[in-house]
A = this chain, B = another copy of it.
Amino acid sequence: MDVRALETLRTVRSQGGVAAAAAVLHLTPSAVSQQLASLSREAGVALTERVGRGLRLTAAGDALADAAVDVAVAVERARAACSVFLDRPEGTVRVSAFQSGARLLLPPLLTRVATLGGITVECSDEDVALDDFPALTDRVDVVVAHRPDGAQWPASGLRVVLLLREPLDVAVPRDHPLAGRDRISAGDLDDEDWIAVREGFPVATVLGAVAAASGTAPRIVHRINDFSIAEALVAAGHGVSLLPRFTGGGHPGVRLVPLAGVRAGRTVDALMRPDTAERLVVRRVLDALVAVAAEASNAER
């Protein structure tokens, strides 16, 4: 039972195929396939089965992949047990975040981690569909992800740490009739043009929930994922939008007005594989990230 092969099995499951797993593991598809074959030989049962031109794990493969998570966690705990005796935790941690989260959290995270010394943080911005966030944890140590109110991450083999909850406000142009209001109710927005995010992406469902409260379907004229672009469009009078309260860059031409009646918001979490979550340096960075998120949501309201 090679630990590397178990790792590979997990990756094949999370990435959904041999080729994708091979890319993540920096291997050729052939190597991955051979590892699976060897593992299956050792286990005495088939771990994968062909489906179409891809493959999927059998029940046995799924069970073994679950067990493989515990193996990886135990190995990382062993590593951490040694790191304790090192004078100071060293290493590099890869952190990714979606755009608005990145702008809010990454700068203060980097300065805070810098004070610890010895830990290098490599950042990247990754904006993917809601369902694709978990798979990022194979490539990146800490994934800052967001989800609309009500949605939950799949529990299987994923460590989730809540960073902050952020209300979604209605963004209207500065000169809009509603701009002076303290609160806006869903019914006030029936005649507006909407700038929404792409389908399948986080908070896409929230607009639907708001519209449901007023009973009319929203008129979506643009689909923009980057909130700062959406903000610019709103300022230019091309529609209204739902934008997160803390992240809104404070564009001078835009006013954010809270929604009345509907509870609209998103949650920002840190996602990690259970084994990477055990790494000492990762835990240090995560602690810093939690602190930074707390400051951010306190400071801005």
Contacts and interface: CB of A to CB of B under 8 A. Distances in A.
B71 A75 contact: yes
Copies of chain A in the complex:
2
A43 B64 CA distance: 28
A275 to B, nearest CB: 11
A79 B2 CA distance: 11
B78 A45 contact: no
A6 B75 CA distance: 10
A67 B81 contact: yes
A68 interface: yes
Interface residues of A, number: 28
B45 A66 contact: no
Interface string A56-67: 000110011011
A86 to B, nearest CB: 6
A229 interface: no
A82 B6 contact: no
B45 A86 contact: yes
20 contacts: A1-B3, A1-B75, A45-B82, A45-B85, A45-B86, A60-B85, A63-B81, A63-B82, A63-B85, A64-B81, A66-B81, A67-B77, A67-B78, A67-B80, A67-B81, A68-B78, A70-B77, A71-B71, A71-B77, A73-B74
